[in-house]
Structure 1
Amino acid sequence: MNVLTPPLQRGMKELERSAFKTVVGTLVIKVPTKKVGVFMKAFDKDLFNQPRTRNVLPDPESKETKLIILRTDLEKIDDLPQEKVDMIKEEGVSTFKHNLEFDYNFWTAEQILHAVMPEDAQDIPSSFTQIGHIAHMNLREYYYPWKKLIGQVILDIDSIDTTFRFFKMEVLAGEDNMIAEVKESGCKFKFDFSKVYWNSRLHTEHDRLVQLFKKNEYVCDVFAGVGPFALPAAKKGAIVYANDLNPSSHEWMKENIKANKITNGIYPYNMDGRAFIRQAVKDLQATSKDEWKTFDHFVMNLPATAIEFLDTFRGLYHDQKHLFNTRAKLPMIHCHCFTKSTDAMQDITERVANIMGGKPDPLKTTLHWVRNVAPKKDMYCVSFPLSSELAFAAPHSEKRKIEQVSPSTIEQSKSARTE
């Protein structure tokens, strides 16, 4: 079967919908309605069989008959096998040429874009992630000349009230409204997508980690964004300390806490990740005067750079060692990262060891594959308990003194998540 394709329009930059109209001439058999099933079975290998089309159409001239459409490569009935020619003659049914019209709305977005793009174009962008009413596309620079056309084609054909953007957050088609509303993990989230990070493809990973958190456990979310881990965890009954460097993310997280009527058990911060980890540990311990108290889980969902922040855990509890005893606990760390290695476990644990100054316990370390983000590039979550040797070691010297957070630093934090 030769699949129908729209007319080629190489070089088109401004969308002209009328250019994608085409007419296909094909043979049809006009048969009595009651015999449609018999003919369909007999001619099953010679039917039109095109995606999103029917092989049987109403006869505009009579309600007593139907039109069975045959494959497009047949010029005349005699091109059919002899036994089928004989059946047509014996049944006394008529055959004739019929024109089928297909316009712009018939084709898929991928078909339209293939018809427009250069013949050697690869990985033509026709998919997107939907965040509320917004659809987000990542366009390679190669496709910038067609960016407006791409946005409009998907807006038209996928019939979604959307905004399409590439890395510079340019509106390509649709309403210039970046306020998105999303439901996930039993919570409602609202945010300005042009100012914060959100990836709906991570909803399964959000749910997976939240399921690990138990009621009354303490969770420290270092790169919390607008709260996709923090809010469901707090709603479940965990006590959550949640931070994000981006002031916009911090403000929207607070708005979402109110909107979801979470009145206690969640504490939002707006700090650098390293400073927050230290501060959160101090703040939690301050709620207990004489007894050891710390987090059950640290979540570090900033895959491009989170591993670099693990140096903070070396010596993190050095000043609290006198409160620790053999029955006390130390936290589990859940750190997201990327790797291109064929041995993901070896690559990631070695990188963790280089940053922390000690390798995590291999018997207690797990590696969870999250998703593929690019050819030969995968996102993982490595989970391991913080060892007492690292927790109470002499701390690393400060790599940087945080006196002021500049807008450029915030943008770097946002862009580190984009994959």
Structure 2
Amino acid sequence: MLDTSKFQVELKLFAIRLPRELCKAASDLLHGYMLDKPRTKPITKDPTSEKNRYIILSEKVQDPDLSDIPSEKIDELKKLFKVEVFPYSVTLGYSHWGADHVLRQILPPGTEAPSSFETIGHIAHMNINDELLPYKDVIAKVIYDKNYPKIQTVVNKVGCITNEFRVPKFEVLAGKADMTTEIKQFGATFKLDYGLVYWNSRLEHEHIRLVSQFKEGETICDMFAGIGPFVIPAAKKGCLVYANDLNPYSVRYLRINAKINNVEDCVKTYNMDARKFIAQLMVVPTCETQCASTEVRKGKNMRIKASVSVDTKPWEHVDHVIMNLPASALQFIDSFRGLIRRKFWKGSLPWIHCYCFMKLTDTRESILSEAESALKARIQDPVFHMVRSVAPHKDMYCLSFKLPEEACIWEE
């Protein structure tokens, strides 16, 4: 249990009484010599007179004759009003201290206070290391107290990710056990259940970077779409997006998010293995009635409706393919081999954006070699972008390249 009374501190200070209209001038002169404590104002009301205020001095002022303050400042004050100094007590309690200060008092000496966390809507996601697990409840209590009401649920990841959907398992340590939340990102709203789907707020800049490369009217395929961090902004930009994810909960929230953001007419969702998804998109229907399913329905968003061609068919043209599953996306690159039928394809071949982890033993050359081996073709002018550092000696990269013709074209 957290005993908040242990954080109560009484400060014996001095204060100056002055007319309230002179507070600004006096505080300018006394800058650096006034009380500077969290959540405590250095200027307060005089309980005996509405016309006066108190300026509370800092601990560095030890003498009532104000000899710790430069004499020229005191002389200027005396020109403004009659300077009255008297003892003043300030009691600082638990509510005054920040999370870092509180946790340093609670945790064993020498341990680092885990006051940082990822914010997902109203949820604080902490990764408490094994050494501090015995203190997890009190850590969560402090984080909750110091960040409420913005943070209403504090969770900690339990164990390693073992499920096929790459979704961590969490335990709720403080606050309400509600994992359904909303996030604002890139001008879009995302709803999700953090206990059922994957989300990483640290990837916002990468979402913005990649989508900024897309042009209005282009066709995008997202093989591991999640709840739509790439999909929704691309659709809002005026792209037609074919979005797939193996996790049915992710697809459910992807559809919800497309509707929330008024882009459901430009987002086509699939719930299947990524290989089957990309293969199915490239199957040429045998009759025009089957082709009709790919057309974009008339929607509420007039800008998007106007920017997407109703004649767009993925077996004829795709501009970009997103593969954001860094743990294993490289293993899916071979699914592009012989994927495209030349007689139906129009325009240039798509850009592939494949995310991967680069560990200490990896190099750009080794990653590129793995991709080329999967394609059985040479990649021309590959582009590597460092997304972020995930752990010591483990970085996340995006490998972008034009799909080589010799790898993907099916000659008839």
Query: Which TM bucket (shorter chain)?
Result: 0.7 to 0.9
* Alpha-carbon contact 2:30-2:73 (below 8 Å) kept: no
Q: Does 1:83 align with 2:71?
A: yes
Deviation string, structure 1 residues 233-257 (Cα, Å, up to 9, x no partner): 3344423221111122123323444
In structure 1, distance between residues paired with 2:283 and 2:38: 62
Aligned with residue 138 of structure 1, among 127, 139, 142: 127
In structure 2, distance between residues paired with 1:205 and 1:40: 45
In structure 1, distance between residues paired with 2:276 and 2:409: 18
Give the aligned partner of residue 9 of structure 2: 22
Q: Which runs of 5 or more structure 2 residues have no equivalent in the other structure?
A: 159-169, 292-310
Give the 5 Å matches for 1:223-262: 223-262=224-263
* Alpha-carbon contact 1:77-1:95 (below 8 Å) kept: yes
Deviation string, structure 1 residues 26-61 (Cα, Å, up to 9, x no partner): 222334445545544444343333444333332223
Give the 5 Å matches for 1:5-84: 14-33=1-20, 36-37=23-24, 39-77=26-64, 80=68, 83=71
SS in 2 for 1:282: coil
Give the 5 Å matches for 1:126-275: 126-159=115-148, 160-168=150-158, 169-275=170-276
Give the aligned partner of residue 412 of structure 1: none
- TM, length-normalised to structure 1: 0.76
Q: Could you tell me how far 1:221 is from its partner in structure 2?
A: 0.5
The residue type equivalent to 2:106 in the other structure is V
Structure 1 residues 156 and 86: alpha-carbon distance in aligned structure 2, compared to 1, 3 A threshold: closer
Deviation string, structure 1 residues 186-219 (Cα, Å, up to 9, x no partner): 5443332211112233233323333333344221
Identical-pair percentage: 39
In structure 2, distance between residues paired with 1:349 and 1:321: 26
Structure 1 residues 28 and 246: alpha-carbon distance in aligned structure 2, compared to 1, 3 A threshold: same
SS in 1 for 2:243: strand
Structure 1 residues 66 and 253: alpha-carbon distance in aligned structure 2, compared to 1, 3 A threshold: closer
SS in 1 for 2:283: helix
Q: Could you tell me how far 1:333 is from its partner in structure 2?
A: 0.5
SS in 1 for 2:246: coil
In structure 1, distance between residues paired with 2:280 and 2:215: 23
In structure 1, distance between residues paired with 2:239 and 2:111: 49
* Alpha-carbon contact 1:291-1:323 (below 8 Å) kept: no
Give the aligned partner of residue 294 of structure 2: none
The residue type equivalent to 2:59 in the other structure is T
Give the aligned partner of residue 307 of structure 2: none
The residue type equivalent to 2:124 in the other structure is A
Give the 5 Å matches for 1:372-383: 372-375=389-392, 377-383=394-400
Structure 1 residues 183 and 391: alpha-carbon distance in aligned structure 2, compared to 1, 3 A threshold: same
Give the aligned partner of residue 405 of structure 2: 388
SS in 2 for 1:63: strand
Q: Could you tell me how far 1:171 is from its partner in structure 2?
A: 0.8
Q: Could you tell me how far 1:357 is from its partner in structure 2?
A: 4.3
Q: Which structure shows the higher strand fraction?
A: 2
* Alpha-carbon contact 2:281-2:315 (below 8 Å) kept: no
Q: Which runs of 5 or more structure 1 residues have no equivalent in the other structure?
A: 1-13, 395-419
In structure 2, distance between residues paired with 1:386 and 1:248: 31
Give the 5 Å matches for 1:237-316: 237-282=238-283, 287=291, 293-316=316-339
The residue type equivalent to 1:48 in the other structure is L
Give the aligned partner of residue 101 of structure 2: 111
